[in-house]
Amino acid sequence: MAPGRPPRVMDPCSAEFWHYTETKELRVQKCSDCQKRRWPPSPFCDACLSEDYTWPVVTGLAKLLSWVVFHKQYFPEYPPGNVVIAAELDEGPIFISTIDHSYLDMLRDGLSLKVGWVEGEDRLGQYHLPIFLPA
Amino acid sequence: MGALKDTVSVVGVGATDYRDDYRCEAGRAANKGSGARDSYQLAARSLRRALADGGLHKSQIDGLCVGGPIRVERASELFGINPSWAIAADAPRAIIQATQAINAGLCNTVACIYGNAQRSQNVQYGGGKAMGGSTALSYVYYAPWGMTSQGALYAMMFKRHQLTYGTAEEQLGAVPVAFRKHASLNPNAVMGEPLTVAEYLDSPYIAEPLRLLDYCLVNDGGVTLIIQRADRAKHSKQTPVNVSGFGWSGLSVDATQLRPRLKDFYYPAHRAVAAQVYPMCGYGPRDIDVYGTYDSFSAHLLFSLEGFGFCPEGDAGSWIQNGRIEIGGELPCNTSGGMLSESYMQGWNHQVELVRQLRGGLGVRQVTGANIAQYTQDALGTCLSVVYTKGG
């Protein structure tokens, strides 16, 4: 059984994002009209309001923008010490994710990162959670 | 907007007994999670006090702005007011929109009323039972990664400020220390014990780099401000305090991916609001005698001081040192103790404090020569500011 995680926010576009994670594909919507890559998922573009979009795979490469270490436990699934990061994808969007606590001493502004995958499960089913590692 | 300058005045203020309600009932029925208090009751208590403060009768109220979890229709019924104009708003928007409604001739005397029994109702601002998600995705979207709470968003933002400008945690400590010092001069503040930077640094992290003492309180309370057309306010019981300027700018584009926070520290929204509020009132940052800012977390103050031009971008960490933001300093900030140490009234208690400072007579807490006061807020997707001046 995959480790339980706090619930995902689900809507049709988010469901598509998570569907791709089943095969460990990190895909981010791209507007077919103005080309803006958007995150989180949405049925229309916030820049030009176009409803036409694709789901291209992104490289999974990113630069570290910021991070926090949770000392208070908010979720039973995440004991204290969880490191949450803001990773700026090479394609543009800022992706909030996690990095293993063992890398904490390595973290610095602009650190090169690459996507990795861990298993997850909530009441909606099993999926892969995109996390990051030093590149 | 200049046409609206000094057209309305705050003529009555009221607040509940934050300290007594928090402290005296510890361990008794009305404490955390008991559900014993009611937001409307707290709101009504503050309304009654504001009416008495202003020497007004409830029948004079013909406009209503409600804040916090209370709703217009139920509030109108419970307070026995059938207004000719009513909205729900946060504190600065209540002031701004009341000004507009009065000037549009829709009403003459507006009661802006906030009530929130968040402590006794055990409202959560993080974790699995956190508020939010329906009006703004915010951190709720990142629960699968363990990301939650507004505090963690500000911790992420402050960490970015550290990485960009070298701001130190010791420097940030000047904020909770100053606000606590102010609270120690305020008999109604929930937290009155003085605090040192060393004690601050010893306090536990919640979402590192922010500590428990960087976080606001969660307590019960109510606040009311009564706003009136300035020509009527001339005859009021208290020294009227004029609404002399305001500004408003959204900051929600790309908000869930934290871009306005991590790339800009909300500066573009601050600048847009500064470009409205300062020309409208005819003053600038150097003219402000007393400053209030939304302080759900200590770091708010750094971003707003930089964005509104009190100091260069990135310099707030050093700028706030050596008593500069304390009463007696160059820019006294959150002189009641703010939401860190007085009361978490989501910006409403700051309005009361600024009005009281401009009226004068606050004793040891009084800012000498307080004639111009500014409030700023960057929260919930909008940056807002109101400038008040002493009227009469």
Tokens of B180: 């606590």
* Phi, then psi, of B126 in degrees rounded to 5: -170, 160
CATH topology of domain B2-122+217-390: Peroxisomal Thiolase; Chain A, domain 1 (3.40.47)
Show residues of chain A in contact with B146, CB under 8 Å. 5-6, 70, 74-75, 77-78, 82, 84, 98
Q: What three-state secondary structure class fits B180?
A: helix
CA distance B200 to chain A (A): 16
Residue B30 pLDDT class (50, 70, 90 cuts): low
Cβ contact B148–A74 (<8 Å): yes
- In this structure, is residue A5 part of a structural domain? no
Average pLDDT over residues B194-215: 98
Q: Is B82 exposed, middle or buried (0-12, 13-18, 19+ CB in 10 A)?
A: exposed
Residue B12 pLDDT class (50, 70, 90 cuts): very high
Instruction: Select from A39, A70, A118 the residue whose CB has the most chain B CBs within 10 Å, as the one to mutate to test that interface.
Output: A70
Cβ contact A68–B207 (<8 Å): yes
- In this structure, is residue A4 part of a structural domain? no
Strand runs labelled E in chain B: 8-15, 63-67, 85-88, 109-116, 205-208, 210-211, 221-229, 241-250, 290-293, 372-379, 382-390
Size of interface A-B (CB pairs under 8 A): 107
pLDDT at B29: 46
Q: What three-state secondary structure class fits B126?
A: coil
Average pLDDT over residues B79-95: 97
Cβ contact A120–B163 (<8 Å): no
The answer, yes or no, to whether residue A104 has pLDDT greater than 60, is yes
- Alpha carbons B293 and B346: distance in angstroms, whole number: 10
Within B209-340, residue ranges assigned H as helices are: 230-233, 259-262, 267-281, 300-307, 316-319
Cβ contact A66–B160 (<8 Å): yes
- Alpha carbons B382 and B385: distance in angstroms, whole number: 10
pLDDT at B136: 61
The answer, yes or no, to whether residue B26 has pLDDT greater than 60, is no
For chain B, the structural domain boundaries read 2-122+217-390
Q: Name the residue facing A74 among B127, B256, B259 (closest C-beta).
A: B127
Residue B120 pLDDT class (50, 70, 90 cuts): confident
Percent of chain B with pLDDT over 90: 88
Average pLDDT over residues A107-119: 98
Percent of chain B with pLDDT over 70: 95
Residue B31 pLDDT class (50, 70, 90 cuts): low
- In this structure, is residue A2 part of a structural domain? no
**Is residue B202 within 8 angstroms of chain A, CB to CB?**
no
Q: Side by side, which strands form the sheet with B221-229?
A: B85-88, B63-67, B109-116, B221-229, B8-15, B241-250, B382-390, B372-379, B290-293
pLDDT at B132: 56
Residue A43's domain spans which residues?
Answer: 12-134
Tens of pLDDT, residues A13-69: 999 999 999 999 999 999 999 999 999 999 999 999 999 999 999 999 999 999 999
The answer, yes or no, to whether residue B175 has pLDDT greater than 50, is yes
As for how many domains chain A has, the answer is: 1
Q: Which of A40-44, B119-123, B154-158 shows the lowest mean pLDDT across its residues?
A: B119-123
Tens of pLDDT, residues B207-238: 999 999 999 999 999 999 999 999 998 888 99
> How far is C-alpha B50 from the chain's CA centre?
18
* The pairing of beta strand B372-379 with beta strand B290-293: parallel
Tokens of B293: 């800012």
pLDDT at B126: 81
The answer, yes or no, to whether residue A98 has pLDDT greater than 70, is yes
With tokens 């930089």, the residue in question is: B306
Cβ contact B156–A9 (<8 Å): no
* Phi, then psi, of B48 in degrees rounded to 5: -60, -40
> How far is C-alpha B98 from the chain's CA centre?
17
Show residues of chain A in contact with B207, CB under 8 Å. 68-72
- In this structure, is residue A98 part of a structural domain? yes
**Is residue B135 within 8 angstroms of chain A, CB to CB?**
no
Residue B134 pLDDT class (50, 70, 90 cuts): low
Name the average pLDDT for chain B: 94
DSSP B255: T
Residue B25 pLDDT class (50, 70, 90 cuts): low
Query: How many angstroms separate the most distant Cα atoms in chain B?
Result: 58
Residue B133 pLDDT class (50, 70, 90 cuts): low
Show residues of chain A in contact with B136, CB under 8 Å. none
| Bridge partners, residue B374, by sequence | B291, B387
pLDDT at A11: 93
**Is residue A82 within 8 angstroms of chain B, CB to CB?**
yes
Cβ contact A68–B155 (<8 Å): yes
Q: Which of residues 271-300 of B touch A (CB under 8 A)?
A: none
Under a CB-based contact definition with an 8 Å cutoff, are residues B327 and B178 in contact?
Answer: no
With tokens 């070298």, the residue in question is: B166
Show residues of chain A in contact with B208, CB under 8 Å. 68-71
Average pLDDT over residues B200-207: 98
CA distances (Å), origin B108, targets B90, B219, B312, B338, B359: 20, 32, 41, 30, 22
The answer, yes or no, to whether residue B366 has pLDDT greater than 60, is yes
**Is residue B146 within 8 angstroms of chain A, CB to CB?**
yes
| Bridge partners, residue B388, by sequence | B243, B373
**Is residue B206 within 8 angstroms of chain A, CB to CB?**
yes
- Alpha carbons A82 and B208: distance in angstroms, whole number: 11
Average pLDDT over residues B272-299: 98
- Spatial neighbors of B267 by CB under 8 A, at least 6 apart, are B303, B306, B307, B313
Q: Name the residue facing A39 among B140, B159, B257 (closest C-beta).
A: B257
